[in-house]
């Protein structure tokens, strides 16, 4: 396949750099402060985190608008979280006189990134202090330079679950646990520039479940109203991308290695719900139905058995693609059977699944046989999906913006280099 040029023009790059210069050249404010926009079931919402006593000033279409308290400070999270819904017909919005990105009528360029946190647990101590070992800031800045109209974060923002030994200089001093310092170090600080470029869709990962980092998820980026208690299961919702519908699922409890007979019917019902949506439809879900973290003795490990059981005969034909993270690879595949394409972009920062196969054509994942596909498992990066005339071009980049793989998605079928 002939390589397509990067869709970002020189003028766009200069505009992006100018915006970032303005961001970082502005006078510093006391304490931590981060602002962004994200999609909820009701549309775009402005969000802000501040250590000040009151929510920051905002405006919509040049008129003052009041941000309200989403979550008050507490011992683990000594910051104020504020929110402001934006009417669909609004042309512009700002926080502290800084323009905030809003929805467009037809999204042409979407960034995919997932599994961005730095892993600290009983088995792995990732180099959180090293850009080489944990390059999420570099990945986020590269995405910002591409100027997407939407950033789809596919989940697992937080991985720091234990303290780093003092003697390990690669992660010494790192915060850990579900608290503000960890969320700031893992996501808000490295993604600071990207937060100003495009609205986000946050997909809940299994590292944001109630047993791990559910309190921070609920407080900062859940698309639903803040609740004091962690919600073990959030309901699916839809986003209109202009000629394309994005359905966002919470599949954090879907067991990978075996079929959860109690949960499979729930996910089957959610798959069936997408039949009511205007097609084509992409389903965004942290765990994909199909994929490969590695092949052991000729047997694939990586596809989700619970979701595979739920998907059997339940995904309607208007669903063109499943977009996921969870596996720390890039994989794009379409199937001999009549299944939607599966796209996995989970190389945003956490330790990579380096044993995952890169040549995946012909391999079987459960009931699905890959007809065409491409994998990358050895480099950190992100994916840009660019709309064309009736199809989409998927380009997977590394953290230095070098093209690693490229495919075209037409309906449910992929054609990859």
190 in any annotated domain = yes
What is the pLDDT confidence band of residue 356, given thresholds at 50, 70 and 90? Answer: very high
Same domain assignment for residues 157 and 295: yes
Question: pLDDT tens digit string along 180-198?
Answer: 999 999 999 999 999 999 9
CATH of the domain at 383: 3.60.21.10
Distance CA 32, CA 336 (A): 51
Same domain assignment for residues 51 and 159: no
Average pLDDT (350-356) is 95
Same domain assignment for residues 192 and 306: yes
279 in any annotated domain = yes
The residue from 56, 78, 99 where one domain ends is 99
Same domain assignment for residues 126 and 81: no
Average pLDDT (306-325) is 96
CA angle 242–115–416, rounded 5-degree value: 60
Distance CA 371, CA 77 (A): 48
Question: pLDDT tens digit string along 189-230?
Answer: 999 999 999 999 999 999 999 999 999 999 999 999 999 899
Under 8 Å between Cβ of 34 and 193:
no
| Residue 137 burial (CB count, 10 A) | 18
Same domain assignment for residues 84 and 123: no
Q: How many domains does the chain have?
A: 2
Same domain assignment for residues 45 and 187: no
In this structure, the chain runs to a length of 417
Across the beta sheet with 245-248, the strand order is 237-240, 245-248, 281-284, 319-324, 341-345, 330-335, 368-376, 364-365
Q: At 403, which helix (H) or strand (E)?
A: strand 403-410
Structure tokens at 189: 């600080």
| Residue 161 burial (CB count, 10 A) | 17
380 in any annotated domain = yes
25 in any annotated domain = no
CA 57 remoteness from chain centre = 28
Query: Which residue in the block uniquely carries the two structure tokens 């512009």?
Result: 92
Give the domain range for residue 49. 32-99
Under 8 Å between Cβ of 100 and 88:
no
User: pTM (2 decimals)?
Assistant: 0.92
Q: What are phi and psi of 144, to 5 degrees?
A: -60, -40
Same domain assignment for residues 187 and 72: no
127 in any annotated domain = yes
Which residue stretches of 101-147 are H helix?
Answer: 136-146
Same domain assignment for residues 90 and 132: no
Question: pLDDT tens digit string along 158-179?
Answer: 999 999 999 999 999 999 999 9
Under DSSP, the state recorded for 3 is: P
- % of the chain surpassing 70 pLDDT: 93
pLDDT tops 80 at residue 89: yes
């Amino acid at each position: 396949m002939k390589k397509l040029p990067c869709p970002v023009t020189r003028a766009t790059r200069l505009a992006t750099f100018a915006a970032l210069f303005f961001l970082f050249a502005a006078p510093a404010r006391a304490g931590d402060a981060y602002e962004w926009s994200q999609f909820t079931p009701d549309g775009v919402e402005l969000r802000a985190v501040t250590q000040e006593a009151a929510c920051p000033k905002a405006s919509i279409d040049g008129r003052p608008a009041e941000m309200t308290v989403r979550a008050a400070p507490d011992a683990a999270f000594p910051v104020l979280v504020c929110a402001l819904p934006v009417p669909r017909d609004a042309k512009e919005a700002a926080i502290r006189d800084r323009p905030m990105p809003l929805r467009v009528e037809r999204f042409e360029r979407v960034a995919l990134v997932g599994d961005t946190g730095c892993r600290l647990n009983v088995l792995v101590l990732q180099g959180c202090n090293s850009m080489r070992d944990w390059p999420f800031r570099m990945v986020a800045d590269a995405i910002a330079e591409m100027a997407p109209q939407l950033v789809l974060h596919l989940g697992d923002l937080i991985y720091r679950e234990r303290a780093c030994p003092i003697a390990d200089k690669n992660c010494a001093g790192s915060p850990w646990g579900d608290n503000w310092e960890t969320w700031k170090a893992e996501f808000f600080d490295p993604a600071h520039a990207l937060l100003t470029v495009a609205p986000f869709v946050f997909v809940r990962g299994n590292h944001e479940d109630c047993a791990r980092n559910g309190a921070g998820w609920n407080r900062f980026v859940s698309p639903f109203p803040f609740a004091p208690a962690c919600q073990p299961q959030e309901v699916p919702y839809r986003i209109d991308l202009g000629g394309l519908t994005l359905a966002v699922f919470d599949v954090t409890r879907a067991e990978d290695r075996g079929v959860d007979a109690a949960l499979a019917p729930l996910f089957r019902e959610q798959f069936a719900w997408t039949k009511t949506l205007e097609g084509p439809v992409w389903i965004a879900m942290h765990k994909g139905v199909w994929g490969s973290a590695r092949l052991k003795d000729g047997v694939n490990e990586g596809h989700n058995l619970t979701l595979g059981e739920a998907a059997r005969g339940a995904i309607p034909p208007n669903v063109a693609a499943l977009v996921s993270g969870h596996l720390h690879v890039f994989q794009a595949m379409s199937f001999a059977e009549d299944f939607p394409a599966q796209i996995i972009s989970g190389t945003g920062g956490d330790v990579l699944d380096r044993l995952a196969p890169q040549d995946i054509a012909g391999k079987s994942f459960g009931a699905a046989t890959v007809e065409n596909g491409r994998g990358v498992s050895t480099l950190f990066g992100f994916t840009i999906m660019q709309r064309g005339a009736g199809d989409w071009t998927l380009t997977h980049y590394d953290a230095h913006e070098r093209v690693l793989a490229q495919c075209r998605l037409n309906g449910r079928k992929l054609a990859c280099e």
